[in-house]
Amino acid sequence: MASSPEAKYTEETVLWVKRHTPKLMTFAVSRPEAYRFSAGQFSRLGFRDGEGFIWRAYSVVSAEYADTLEYFTVLIEGGPMSVKFAHMQAGDTILLDKTATGFLLPERFQDGRDLVMLCTGSGIAPFLSILEQPEIWQRFDRLALAHSVSRADELIFNDRIAALSEHPLVGEYFGKLTFQPVLTRDQTDGALCGKRLPALISDGTLAAAFGMAFTQADTRFMLCGNPDMVKDTFQALLDKGFAMHRNRIPGHILMENGF
164-191 residue pLDDT tens: 999 999 999 999 999 999 999 999 999 9
The overall pTM is greater than 0.85: yes
| Contacts (Cβ under 8 Å, ≥6 apart) of 153 | 20, 21
Instruction: Look over the chain and give the mean of its residue pLDDT values, rounded to a whole number.
Output: 95
Helix (H, G, I), strand (E, B) or coil at 218: coil
Strand order in the sheet with 192-193: 192-193, 177-183, 142-149, 114-120, 219-225, 253-257
pLDDT band at 215 (very low <50, low <70, confident <90, very high): very high
What value does the mean pLDDT take over residues 61-67? 98
Other beta carbons within 10 Å of 63 = 19
What value does the mean pLDDT take over residues 110-131? 97
Strands 219-225 and 114-120, by their bridges, are: parallel
pLDDT of residue 238: 98
Q: Which domains does the chain carry?
A: 5-97 (2.40.30.10), 106-257 (3.40.50.80)
pLDDT band at 247 (very low <50, low <70, confident <90, very high): confident
pLDDT of residue 185: 95
The alpha-helical segments, DSSP class H, found in 20-152 are: 80-87, 125-130, 134-139
Task: Detail the DSSP E strand segments found in the chain.
Answer: 9-19, 24-30, 42-49, 52-59, 68-74, 93-97, 114-120, 142-149, 177-183, 192-193, 219-225, 253-257
What value does the mean pLDDT take over residues 201-206? 98
What value does the mean pLDDT take over residues 203-231? 97
Percent of the chain residues past pLDDT 70, beyond the cut: 97
pLDDT band at 2 (very low <50, low <70, confident <90, very high): very low
pLDDT of residue 4: 54
What value does the mean pLDDT take over residues 4-29? 92
pLDDT band at 259 (very low <50, low <70, confident <90, very high): low
